[in-house]
Amino acid sequence: MQDAQRCVLDIEASGFGRHSYPIEIGYVREDGQAWCSLVRPADDWQHWDEQAERVHGIARPVLLQHGRAVAEVARRLNADLAGRTVYCDGWAHDYAWLGLLFEEAGLVPRFKLESVNRLLDDARLARLDAERQQAFAALGIGRHRASSDARALQWALERLAA
């Protein structure tokens, strides 16, 4: 890794599998700017996994009441992340969920989503989860949410680059 500070994104979802969709998206840019938003499900986004809810702690009625519209979230991501390469640790799922968000919004992402696997050799990749767990303690993060997870991942990547 050449630069320690990377722009990192995390997505919480309604579950896993074919019919799941993004319910919260958060990022931390390389300059430290962070943003997070709940996503109000589109009308045809009905899948809900109770197990996933136990992990992220976000109930569907909360999304319906407090979530931002899909198009609003997509526009904000494009405005804030345009031209950047943005890294995530669950690329296969995050790429699909981000694609669903932008497709529903009728927009195209103006940034590139990449896996942290592109940044780390095998030895560092093997240490990523342990470093991320240390980040939660070091940063005083107590809840599993998109922006918190993004901040912990960014911290872990910085440590692994050192």
Residue 135 is assigned to a structural domain of this protein: yes
Confidence of residue 151 (pLDDT cuts 50, 70, 90): very high
What is the β-pairing status of strands 34-38 and 22-28?
Answer: antiparallel
Residue 2 is assigned to a structural domain of this protein: no
Element (H, E) at 112: strand 112-115
Residue 1 is assigned to a structural domain of this protein: no
Residue 92 is assigned to a structural domain of this protein: yes
Residue 146 φ/ψ region, left for φ over 0, alpha for ψ in the -120 to 50 degree band, beta for the rest: alpha
Look up residue 37 and give its two tokens.
């938003």
Q: Give 66-102 pLDDT, tens digit per residue.
A: 999 999 999 999 999 999 999 999 999 999 999 999 9
Q: Give 9-49 pLDDT, tens digit per residue.
A: 999 999 988 899 999 999 999 999 999 999 999 999 999 99
Instruction: Provide the domain count of the chain.
Output: 1
Residue 85 is assigned to a structural domain of this protein: yes
What pTM was computed for the model? 0.93
Mean pLDDT of 146-150: 94
The residue range of the domain holding 41 is 7-161
CATH, residue 14 = 3.30.420.10
Residue 31 is assigned to a structural domain of this protein: yes
